[in-house]
Structure formats: C-alpha cells, structure tokens
Structure 1
Amino acid sequence: MALLHNPIFLLLLIVVLGELLGKVHLRSLALGPPAIIFVALAFGHFGYTLPQGVQTIGLAMFIYAVGLQAGPGFVSSFRRHGLAMAVTVAAIVSAGVAVTYLCCRLFDFDAGTGAGLFAGAMTSTPSLAAAVEVIGHDTAPAAYGVTYGFGVLGVALAISLLPRLLRRNIVAEEAALAAELAAVNPPITHRHIEVNNPNIFGKTVLELGLKAIAPVTLTRLLRFGASEPVLVGADTILDAGDKLRIVGRPADLDKVQLLIGPAVAGEIAFDRVLTKKSIVVSKREFAGTTLGYFNFREVFNVQIARISRNGIDLPADAHTRLHLGDVLHAVGDERSLRNITRILGNDLKATYSISLLPILVGLLFGFLLGQLSFELPLLGRLTLGTTGGTLLAGLLLGARYQTGPLIWDLPDTGSQLIRDLGLALFLAAVGTSAGVSFVATLHEHGLALLLSGVAVTLLPVAIGTLVGLWLLRVRFLRLLGVLVGAMTSASGLNAASALSATPYAPAAYATVYPVALIGKIIAVKVLLLLL
C-alpha cells in the first residue's frame, strides 16, 4: 500500500491499532499503551519505518511532562530519600551487569552483542552509544534492537503486576505516604484561645510580633462579654478575657498559645454579619502575585485564613505567591467577598485551560540543555542528550512555576495528554526501528539472545525490589518510581502512574534518573572490560 509509506498515515495507524490492542482484556490484565510497540514491531519487520524525529519529539514530550510534575517536590524528595534511592539504583545496574556477563559466558556472546544486550534490555540508548564508541557498529546495535522491545514492554508489565505479586494495596500505600507527608508538612487547623497574659493586655496584634514566633493567622476575635465576633487586623487591641481563633499548624499554635493564653472550648461563629467562602484563583494575571499585594484585610475588611494548593493547606502569609488554582479560604461580609470573587475569578474551568507557548518554550529549552556536555573522569565527554535535557528543563521550570507572563505548570489533564501522546509517538517509532532487524538477529542468535534479554530486564527489577523494599525500607509507591527510573523506562513510568495518580512515583523517577543515566554508561564500559 502506497499509504503505508506516508509517515503521518503510518504513525496514526500504528497508534490507533496499538491503542485498540491495549484495551483488550485477558481476564483482568490489559497491555495498555505499551501494546503500541507490538504493532510497530510488525510494521517494522515488513520495512515500514517512522522517521527518527518522531521518536525524539515523543520522548521529549513524555520526559518534559514528567519533569514538570516532579519539579516542585524534587529537592525535598532527594534530601529525604536520595541516598536510599541511589543505593537501590546502584544495585539494579550492578545486577544488570552481572546477569549480562553470565549470559555472555553461558551462550558465548561476543563483547559487542553483550553490550547491546545490556543496553537494550536495560533500555539505555546512551549506554549503546558509549559501547558503539568503543567497539564500533558491528553487533551491538542489532542485539540492542532484539532486546529493546521486551525491555520497554517487560518493565511496564513487571510494574503492573508487582502490586499483585507482593500483595500490596495501592490505596493503603497512598494513605501511608499521605500520613508520612502530613508528618513532614502537618495540615493547617484552628484553635480558640483566651487572652490571659497581662504582658500583652492593651497591645495591638502588630506589637505582638507573631510572625517572628510562628506562621499563624489570627482570624476572629470575640470580646469579653460580647456575642458577635469581629475580624482581627494588625491594629486590633487585645484585652483580658478576649477569645481568639488562630489558624496554623499544631506545633505553631502551641508556640503562640504560650504567649497569649490557654486553649478554650466552644465556637467563635459569626451570626449574620460575616460569612465564610472559598475562592479559586483563576485569573492568570494574578498567578505569582503575593497575597500581601491585595491587602484584603485593610481594603475589603476580609481575612484570609489559609490557602489550599493541590490538596495541601498553606499558611496565609503575606509573602506567599499565589498559583493558578489556589483556593483562598476567606472570611468577611458578603459584599466584600463578592468583590474579591470578581477580582480573582473563582472560575474552576478556567484553571484547566492550557497555553501552548510555555510548553513549546519549555521543550525548546530542554533541547538546548541537551546539547550541553561535560568531561567526566574515566567516562570522557558526557552529553545530556534529549532525555536528560528535557528532564532537567521540566524539573527547573516545574520548580520555578512562573517566569514573567509564562506559567510553566500544567493542569493534570493537560500534563496527562502530553505524556500519553509523547509515549505513543516514542513507542511507535522505536518499535518500527527495532522491527527491521528483529527477526534477522533473532535467527542468527536464536532464542538465547531473546531469553537473555528477558533475564537482564526482569532480574535487576526483582533484585531492586528486594533491596529497596525490604533492605532500605523505601515506600512501595516511591519504589515503583525508583525501579522505572533505574531502568530509564518511559513505558514503566506510565504503568506506575496508571497504578496511582499520586506524584510519588514520578518524583522518585526524576530523582534517580540522572544517577541511572551516568551509572549505566559506567556499567557498559566496565562490562566491555570484563568481556
């Protein structure tokens, strides 16, 4: 068919057929998006291939979206869990070298075939490039083509089956990690206290210097003997017997309580005058603006008690920069709240809109970073490449959130679309490329090479699971990200994300990816020395 030589038609056909195949369920198991590579291998075998550029842009889109998602929590994740994750990656890469070496000795593979076996089964294109630089193009690329297909699919299948094999409840794991996160970043709550410290009688809230003690907000004041509370401002004077509602994290509330007075029971509720309202920041021009810029308390007589962002409560500090989609929990009279609502937008649908320019600028930035190269001892010159560059760009821009008018962050639906589309393009191009030499190389080396590829893919994952989960006590959802990051597997990360929509696996993937990238380049050179 002439149409099959049209790269656009061929790409769409492979992706559509792969998506349809991925939706076929055998009992409760479905291949999902990685099924695209099976269809692509078939077309590649018959000589229908896609341009290299399709693979490059697909991989860049996928990795960039991952970096954006992981960026905000990358630094804190590495500080708390980096060592255990790095050790797990080292165990996985070392296991890959050991299994490859044993297979080469068992089946009498030459050094080039062994290097291609390692690079393909461990899905590491930079390792293949390093091997070719040393030994040439003779056998390594062909072995890579045979083993890479299962390397892509095998990791995804292993990750999908791991919860069943280990009898892990994903919901329970999410709850355990949420509790761990809450311990590190406790939720914001409120407490009622009574003013009984004589040293602060007659002083204004500003004179107390609370910001130097703890990041809390005084929201309501019930005067001694009064029946209706009022909002608290910087010039509010405190007297004996007054009752205050303070908002903050428990440990911070304890500090303020030592200064002002003991906690009291009861509620400080508004009757008719003041009400509560949650307002969504949906106007893009206010993203990145500090809360203090609006001066809600003085201008509108409205108090912001706290800010909710991505399910986490933040203190309503004047220096807190607002993000698109932030929810402000405000207290004030209805007219003032309506005015603030008009200013900030309060349109949830608007927060899901996507601007194309920041995405394209981010990808371009990633490609430029990918051109950077470094001289490393024993390794020679190392180039970040498309994958490393776009991951680094995603991490940097995701952590920064905004530069001028450009908001780098994406809503979940937009991020998922870019990831899925990028993965589909990547798998289609990789599959057609590997399909060209798949049968010929398989015929030359027999099933030995294919089975060796299966072993080099699955055994390191199993060893990494043992080391990470039981020896180093890495949380299961984070371990999924560590495993796919160590295998530098885009399809594996997609499988991990399908198991849980939480950001733990992507954050772990981004944390260990640079370690795995450099570690595998070192490993393939060590392997060539051994062979």
Structure 2
Amino acid sequence: METILHFFRTYPEMAIFLTIGIGFWVGTLKYKSFTLGTVTSVLLIGVLVGQMDIPIPGPVKSVFFLLFLFSIGYSVGPQFFQSLKSDGLPQVGFACVLCILCLVVTVVIAKILGYNPGEAIGLFAGAQTISAVIGVGTDTIGTLGNSPEEKKAWLDIIPVCYAVTYIYGTIGSAYILGTIGPKMLGGLEKVKQKTRELENEMRKGDIEDDPALINANRPVVFRAYCACNDWFSTPRTVADIEKKLQDMGRRIFVERVRSAGKIVEVTPQLIIKQKDELVLSGRREIIIEDESWIGEEVNDPELLTFPVEDIFVMLTKKTAKGKTLSELRRQEFMHGIMIKNIKRTGVQIPVMANTKLQSGDLLEIVGMQNDIKQAAPNLGYIDRPTNKTDMIFVGLGILIGGIIGALSIHLGGIPISLSTSGGALLSGLFFGWLRTKHPTFGRIPEPAVWIFNNLGLNMFIAVIGITAGPTFLTGIKEMGFVIFFAGILATSIPLFLGIWIGNKIFKFHPAINLGCNAGSRTTTAALGAIQESLESTVPALGYTVTYAVGNTLLILWGVVIVLFMA
C-alpha cells in the first residue's frame, strides 16, 4: 500500500488518468434506464482516489477547463448570435426567463437554508446540470477577500453538493419534461397529435415525394433502368423525363445514360431513345415505387460505376440562409442534390420542407461531382473531413478571452470580473461566430471538439474530486439529506414554471415548448426523453437556440451566485 501511495503522490497525473479511465467506464453502466453519467461517475471515482490524499498542481485543472469552455462557446457561437435576430427572439427571450428562474430559485433556497457560496454553487451546478459552473464559481471564490481557510472550506463543499443534487437534476429533468410536461399541456396523446399536425404542416412542399429532402435513415440510391416503355417510342430529352417525374410528384434525376451502347454525357437537351439505359437517383422508396412508366431495372456495372460525393457544407451564403428547404430545393443550383442531414449546434434537426435554414448549419449533401461543384459554392463552405485543428486559433482565442476575463472592477470593495473561465467562454462564442463569416480558418473538427468538451471538463472534474476526497465524507455528514431535497426543489420549480410560461405567455407549440425547456437547461438527456415520448424529432427545433443561450447564461451565473451569497 505504501508503494501505491508513493507512486500516485509522486506522479499525481497518473491518479487523474486512473480517475478518467474508471470514471468513463462507470459512466457507461446502466440499470434499466438509469445511469450516473460520465461527469458524476468521474467525480465520485475522483473522490475515492482522493482518499489517498494526493496533491494536484493547481494549473492542471485550469488548463483543461479553459479548453472546455472555449470549445463550448465555439460550438454554440453561430447559433447564439443567429438567435439574436428576429426569428429566434421569442426563444431567446424564453431562455433568458428560464435561466433567470433557475438562478433566482436556487439563490432563494440557498438563502433560506443559510448556505455559503460553495454550497450554493454546488446546489446550482447539480440541480441545473451545468457542471461548468463549478469552475466559474471556483475562480470567482478565489477573487474574494475572505481568509484562505474559509475559501478552502467553500471549495471543498462544492463537489459534495454537486454530487448529491446532480442525479435528480438529470433524471428529474428528463421525467418532468418527458412525462409530466405533456400532461401539463393537455395530455400525452393530445400533444402527440399536435406534434404530428406540426410535422404535416412542415412537410407541406412535397417532402414525402421529394427525394431532395430526406432523413438520414432513408438512403439515396442510384439505379439503372431500360427506357423500354412505349412513352419513349417518341425520343425524349432528359429535361422532358425529369419534368414528367415532377408532374408525377416524384423528383428524380437522370444521372447517367447509355445510348447506342455508349455512355454519354448527360445534359438537359440530351435525347433519350427507346431501349437506352438510364441511371436515376433519388430516395429508394420513391424510385422503386412504380417502374412501369420507364421499364425494367437492368444490371449494368459499368453504367453504375461512377463517383458520387457525400460531403458536409457549412451554410454561409445569402443564396441559402433564411430559406426553407422547400425554397432551397427550387434553386437551379440544387439540381441533382440530395440533403441527407442537417446539424445545428451539433444537434440533428428535422429535414422537412418548411425547416428554415440558418447561418452555421451543417448540411450533409449527396450528388454527382459536377452537381456538387455547382451547389456547394452557393450554399457555403465545404467542410471536408480533416484531423487538423487550428491551434493558433484556439490558443490565441483562449488567451484573448482570459485577458478580458481577468479585468475587474471594484464595487463596494468587492472585485467583480468574468474570471478567466468566463472570458474563455465569451471568446469561444465570438470566435465560433467569426468562423461562420470567414470559414477558411479556425477549423476545429467535430472529434476535436468532443475531446475538448469531454476530456477538458472531466479532467477538471477529476481534479476536483481527487482534491476534495479527504473531506468529502465529512461534507456529506454536514449537509445531510436537506441538500438532496433542496436539489429537488431547485430542479423542479423552474421547469414547472417554464412549461407554464412557454404555454401561456410565449404560446409555443407543445413540442417546441418542451424542447425550449430542455435547451434552456442544456439537458440533452431530457431532449431524448421528450423525443421518445412524442415519437418525433420536432422538439429539437426548440432546443438549439435555447441551448446556445442557456449554455452561456447558466455558466456565467456562477459569478453572480458567488457575489450574491458572499
């Protein structure tokens, strides 16, 4: 045992990796639908490892936490600034109201129970499931003029309160929004019916019959047919064929042609004769729905062997921004282009005719190389797969944010600042938005963002757990069960009020209302519960804007709570 203690105390970084490894593993374990989640698991494993009384150098957790905050800002920046325009203002307003409710309810409960700043930060972080508040609150406590002993006691109690309240914060949010929320809005069946009606409304524009608008689980196919139908006894142009298909309500494209035994270049004016072979592209169920209009399918390996691109494009061009998918597909440059997927702030949103596109959206499109070359420049910047991160952008972005956050003003003798962590978050917001305006630099691939988000936050949480380990059990005894019930109130009250306010004051559609509540609380687990309950992805349309606003405000509340409670 002495050898083990000596090893980890000599090499504390090994204790961190031990915590990360076991914590991530525990986070994957489930009992029915219950799981601790990665962050809570890492914290609790850190507490166990911390029983060895391992000193951790201070800068370690700060470095990883700043990476985490910058990447969070970078991810939501485009949506955050986009939401400030008129179309997103109602959801922005709602997110601000709910975030203020979360702050006020938590502070009132903490005041009634006589909690210190550390207890209040832990309560808020766990009940509102916003782990990053721990870092911002820790930084802010460090700026106060209290004695080092008092500040250490506050810091040591944060992870205790967080661990106790986080479990209900996650499970309770999912249950309230996925189960109780629909009942508050008229009953589950009624909300599901209204959601189906909204889906049908959003599909108006031939979404069901338009292969250019597809969901990811409906793959695009390329199939070869013989033009043997009597309709081809009179030679037809490619434009004639595609018009006939559109008149049939089936937007299908002619991609390749074998005429007189030779593969020829396809143009709208190309003449198709009877017995020629055509490659058609479109949604599988549309193409095979009825083949009698053209002729039998043929197996022609040479005709079907050609390059097709499946790429991601970041939407930046005015020719596409603000348009619905129905409007976009009618643009001439969209000929032959299929939209497979749309992501907004990393969340997949419904691909429907009346889904409105926004700057920074990531579109996955499929088509022939020539069609892609025509469409992509009119949509935005081709986001080709890469494993390179622009570390100049990341390093200078965090530095600039840290400098701004370190600046402080004194009110009543109390230094007030965003702290370096708050500055890094705001810097990430700005630099994330900036990349949508100038996408040729500042690339952080999605896997790198995942690393920054997950490893950055969990490295920070691991250090918190390890350093708090020796005093954790004492803290649990001090706080008792009262902190658990305080967490239930701090989680539930804002959500119940939020559902009511979204319905009565903002008059959101029920599905959008529930999505807005999940987004404002940045609770992805709750969004999943809502979508599963309503059997629809529509709630995601209320999640993205409010998630961007909620992620920013809830994290910054860490500064406000410490100042209130101090």
Determine if the TM-score, normalized by the shorter chain, exceeds 0.5: yes
Residue in structure 1 matching 2:29, options 6, 24, 27: 24
| SS of aligned partner of 1:353 | coil
Whole-Å separation in 2 of the counterparts to 1:354 and 1:415? 11
1:88/1:464 contact within 8 Å kept: yes
How far does the alpha carbon of each residue in 1:255-300 deviate from its partner, in whole angstroms, 9 at most, with x for none?
xxxxxxxx977778777544876744479xx9979999xxxxxxxx
- The change in CA–CA distance for 1:10 and 1:133 in structure 2 (over 3 A counts) is same
Counterpart of 2:224? none
Shift of 1:48: 1.4
Counterpart of 1:370? 402
Counterpart of 2:429? 395
Counterpart of 2:534? none
1:114/1:140 contact within 8 Å kept: no
1:71 paired with 2:73, answer: no
Residue in structure 2 matching 1:122, options 121, 124, 127: 124
Whole-Å separation in 2 of the counterparts to 1:182 and 1:399? 33
How far does the alpha carbon of each residue in 1:222-254 deviate from its partner, in whole angstroms, 9 at most, with x for none?
xxx9943549xxxxxxxxxxx997xxxxxxxxx
Whole-Å separation in 2 of the counterparts to 1:461 and 1:21? 24
Counterpart of 1:133? 144
Shift of 1:75: 2.9
Counterpart of 2:498? 468
How far does the alpha carbon of each residue in 1:144-196 deviate from its partner, in whole angstroms, 9 at most, with x for none?
4224334156335422343235544999999989997998999797999xxxx
1:511 paired with 2:549, answer: yes
1:100/1:452 contact within 8 Å kept: no
Shift of 1:516: 3.8
Unaligned runs of 5+ in 1: 105-112, 193-224, 232-242, 246-262, 293-301, 485-492
Whole-Å separation in 2 of the counterparts to 1:30 and 1:139? 35
Correspondences of 1:111-510 after superposition (within 5 Å): 114-123=116-125, 124-125=133-134, 126-127=136-137, 129=140, 133=144, 135-152=146-163, 154-155=165-166, 157-164=168-175, 167-168=178-179, 227-228=236-237, 230=239, 272=257, 273-274=266-267, 279-281=309-311, 303-305=333-335, 308=339, 310=342, 326-327=364-365, 351-358=384-391, 361-372=393-404, 373=407, 375=409, 381-401=415-435, 406-408=440-442, 410-441=444-475, 447-473=477-503, 475-484=513-522, 507-510=545-548
Shift of 1:385: 2.8
1:10 paired with 2:21, answer: no
Matching residue's letter, 1:85 = A
| SS of aligned partner of 1:354 | coil
TM-score normalised by structure 1 residue count: 0.63
Shift of 1:351: 3.6
Residue in structure 2 matching 1:99, options 98, 104, 109: 109
Whole-Å separation in 1 of the counterparts to 2:202 and 2:117? 43
2:72/2:453 contact within 8 Å kept: yes
1:156/1:495 contact within 8 Å kept: no
- The change in CA–CA distance for 1:98 and 1:448 in structure 2 (over 3 A counts) is farther
1:147/1:449 contact within 8 Å kept: no
Counterpart of 1:37? 43
| SS of aligned partner of 2:400 | helix
Whole-Å separation in 2 of the counterparts to 1:303 and 1:512? 37
TM-score normalised by structure 2 residue count: 0.59
Whole-Å separation in 2 of the counterparts to 1:506 and 1:190? 25
| SS of aligned partner of 1:453 | helix
- The change in CA–CA distance for 1:138 and 1:460 in structure 2 (over 3 A counts) is same
- The change in CA–CA distance for 1:52 and 1:423 in structure 2 (over 3 A counts) is same
| SS of aligned partner of 1:327 | strand
Shift of 1:431: 0.6
Shift of 1:100: 1.6
| SS of aligned partner of 2:334 | strand
How far does the alpha carbon of each residue in 1:83-141 deviate from its partner, in whole angstroms, 9 at most, with x for none?
2222222222222222122222xxxxxxxx62332133224454563596254444353
Whole-Å separation in 2 of the counterparts to 1:328 and 1:432? 48
- The change in CA–CA distance for 1:434 and 1:80 in structure 2 (over 3 A counts) is same
- The change in CA–CA distance for 1:162 and 1:267 in structure 2 (over 3 A counts) is closer
- The change in CA–CA distance for 1:355 and 1:99 in structure 2 (over 3 A counts) is same
Shift of 1:24: 3.2
Whole-Å separation in 1 of the counterparts to 2:68 and 2:194? 28
Matching residue's letter, 2:24 = E
Shift of 1:511: 0.6
Counterpart of 1:235? none
Whole-Å separation in 2 of the counterparts to 1:148 and 1:325? 40
Give aligned pairs, total: 425
- The change in CA–CA distance for 1:518 and 1:355 in structure 2 (over 3 A counts) is closer
- The change in CA–CA distance for 1:137 and 1:352 in structure 2 (over 3 A counts) is same
Deviates more, 1:394-403 or 1:16-25: 394-403
- The change in CA–CA distance for 1:149 and 1:356 in structure 2 (over 3 A counts) is farther
Matching residue's letter, 2:386 = S
- The change in CA–CA distance for 1:517 and 1:351 in structure 2 (over 3 A counts) is closer
| SS of aligned partner of 1:25 | coil
Whole-Å separation in 1 of the counterparts to 2:528 and 2:60? 24
- The change in CA–CA distance for 1:314 and 1:461 in structure 2 (over 3 A counts) is closer
Whole-Å separation in 2 of the counterparts to 1:339 and 1:86? 42
